Chain A
Amino acid sequence: MATMTKERADSLAPPRRSNFLRTITPYLYILPALIIMTIITYYPIAYSLWMSTTNYGIKNLRVDAPLPDSVGLQNYIDILSGAVSSLIPNFNFWNTLAFNLWWTFSNVIFHVAIGIIIAVILNTQGLWFRGIYRAIFVLPIVIPTLVIGTVWRNMFDADYGAINQVLAAFGGIFGMPEAAFHIRWIDQVDPPIPFIPLPLAYYALLITNIWLGWPFMTIVASGALQSINKEYYEAASMDGASPVRQFFSITLPLLRPAMVPAAMYGMIVTFNLFNLVYFITGGGPLRQTEILVTTAFNLVNAQRLYGLAAAFSVFIMIILIIITVGTNRISRATESYDV
């Protein structure tokens, strides 16, 4: 009886009202998120656009402080032209940007290459202890980068760090003196390879981030490897293709649809890898390993130049939008490859 009434009521419900409900339902679902994001995400971004055209400084922080002076686009010009370096020693936007791009690129290349090679090795038929290796290799992913950064910072210590101690132990086998391995990983200014203008600190960061980054790629590649049909390999080896040839002609092309989005994701993460860079080198020596996000942090934290920092953040936003659109294009373009 009750169901009858309900059914009747349903079928008799005025269509207009249910149409209206159906139209506004999606908006009701997104409304809470939109309200919160408008207040704490979009409004601050809009506010920073205004701040970036002022000389907002520490004097403007008090509640009853006067509004900062408008300086037009001066902050942007100062950042691009390097005029800021009179306030902040060694500040150079273009160097930082170039380093940040190179940092991202060099890291992700290593992550993907090592990740694929180790995934292929782990996928070898009849490999012993596969499960144990898998369990060990996932460890760098699960440890917070904050902890990884601080621990490696101490491991790279010139006097007491584990890296120099291990190198000295190996060197000792060949009769090299321990003093030869007093390597100042973090603060040596001269580039270790004369014709490459990158400080030793860059290599320290690279080593740490390779340690941190490849297992993610291995996991992604392992998943994709398992979905590759074994018949391809059987056919190829019947045709006399060598394992190397098989790797380049079958494995790599079929891994591409999985690896490209993973690499794009890795690029964005690495581009903004604040925790590692800040905790290991702090951007030093002489700001040579500074990336954009650590610079933005320093502009606020150490310099308290809020207006300038806002302008700097606008540049970060523009660059990230370009990178995001670019990486999405690349991901999409390879999507059709998906079988």
Chain B
Amino acid sequence: MATTTVSLGKDILGADKKERAASFAPQEKKMKLRRQLLLQLLLLFISFIVLFPILWVVSMSLDPRGLRPLTLTLIPANASLDAYAAVIDKPTNNPVGFWTLARNSLALATSVSVLSVLVGVFCAYAFSRFKFTGRQVIMLGIIIVLMLPTVASLAPLFVLLNKVQFTIGDVNFNLRNSLIGVGLAMISGALPFAIWNLKGYIDTIPKDLEEAAMIDGASANQTFFQIMLPLALPALAVTAFLGFLTGWTEFALSWQFLTNPQDFTLAMALWNMTGQYAANTPWSKFSAMAILVALPVAAVYLALQKYIVGGLTVGGVKG
């Protein structure tokens, strides 16, 4: 008897709880389900818009039909990787192969990124951690060129680099007309960016560890190499990657400076396959090229994305 009452009591209590919960839940759930579906519909639509160009270019790259597509297809009939093979075999009408283009882009991007980070991190550390006479003025000087896109300095860079010419034997070297010249011109913009971006990151690293090291008698150099550099490693990686990205996709300078097809880059070849220059380039080939240019950097960006986006606004605008 007693047990029944107790269990009954429990039951009532339980029912009561359930009922109370129920009096909230169904309403909320109904509201939520309708809202949920509405939001899902909206988000699906946005996803479609975001994915559309990507799907289009992938589908196009697999499309074996002639020069231009007349209809939209997601997976084209007789899909094949022929376009990729064709691009790697002979990307444009210029006498230069895909791997030469890729090697040039890689060399340009790597050296710009490594050099600007290597030199930039010392300068960034000084701005972030030392107080010294002239600091404000020098920082201002860097901010000013930071905002100036390299395209705007195209004319003086072209003229100045063009002055460095010499002849060894029968080889005439013109710094302007070489990948080294393009790299130098790019570093003129990439270095201020690297300094500023790294300074933004280093500013956010607490000083405690360095101060502890200083108290233990470490010199400024020891603190920098043994404490700061390891802590700043993610920032160095991100900044190096952003520098790499600029080099990998650089167009204006190399297009303007370089005349020898053996020095051309992937970005230049991609533009050669677009629009007015590309009346005879099948879009399948163009699309394959676009994917080959984008894929390596997009994959790395995706992996580093979390660190990059936060850092850009910190390093980019906050002084």
Contact = CB atoms under 8 A, between A and B. Distances in A.
Interface of A: 7, 10, 22-23, 25-27, 29-30, 32-34, 36-37, 40-45, 47-48, 51, 56, 60-61, 63, 118, 121-122, 124, 126-129, 133, 136-148, 150-155, 157, 159-160, 162, 165-166, 169, 211, 215-216, 219-220, 223, 258, 261-262, 264-265, 268, 272, 274-275, 278-279, 282, 292-293, 296-297, 299-301, 306-307, 309-310, 313, 316-317, 320-321, 323-324, 327-328, 331-332, 335
17 contacts: A33-B191, A34-B123, A36-B119, A36-B187, A47-B160, A48-B155, A61-B162, A129-B43, A150-B275, A261-B313, A282-B275, A297-B151, A299-B155, A300-B154, A300-B155, A313-B156, A317-B144
A162 B72 contact: yes
A215 B151 CA distance: 26
Given A138-B302, A153-B274, A223-B310, A41 B152 contact: no
User: A25, A32, A138, A144 — which one has the most chain B CB atoms within 10 A of its CB?
Assistant: A144
A41 B316 CA distance: 19
A29 B126 contact: yes
Interface of B: 32, 35-36, 39-40, 42-43, 46-47, 49-54, 56-57, 68-72, 119-120, 122-123, 125-127, 130, 132, 135, 138, 141-145, 147-149, 151-160, 162-163, 165, 184-185, 187-189, 191-192, 195, 217, 220-221, 224, 245, 248-249, 251-252, 255-256, 267, 270-271, 273-275, 283, 286-287, 290, 293-294, 297-298, 301-302, 305, 309-310, 312-313, 316-319
B318 A150 contact: no
Q: Which 4 A-B pairs have the closest CB atoms?
A: A29-B126, A33-B123, A48-B156, A26-B130
User: A33, A140, A306 — which one has the most chain B CB atoms within 10 A of its CB?
Assistant: A33
A294 B50 CA distance: 27
Contacts of A133: 43, 46-47
B36 A63 contact: no
A159 B68 CA distance: 9
Interface majority SS on A: helix, strand, loop or mixed? helix
A40 B2 CA distance: 93
B152 A313 contact: yes
B127 A126 contact: no
A42 B313 contact: no
Given A30-B126, A43-B160, A293-B149, A153 B275 contact: yes
B151 A41 contact: no
B271 A279 contact: yes
Nearest to A144: B249
A213 B301 CA distance: 16
Contact of B187 (A34, A40, A160, A282): A40
Contact of B248 (A25, A44, A144): A144
B188 A320 contact: no
Nearest to A307: B155
Given A40-B187, A162-B56, A274-B149, 4 more contacts: A26-B126, A160-B70, A307-B155, A313-B155
A258 B126 CA distance: 27
B249 A27 contact: no
A335 B319 CA distance: 11
Contacts of B271: 146, 150, 279
Contacts of A293: 149, 151-152
Nearest to B154: A300
A136 B51 contact: yes
Contacts of A307: 155
A268 B127 CA distance: 23
A265 B270 contact: no
B56 A309 contact: no
A306 B155 contact: yes
A44 B255 contact: no
Contacts of B71: 165
A143 B187 contact: no
Given A265-B317, A328-B319, A146 B249 contact: yes
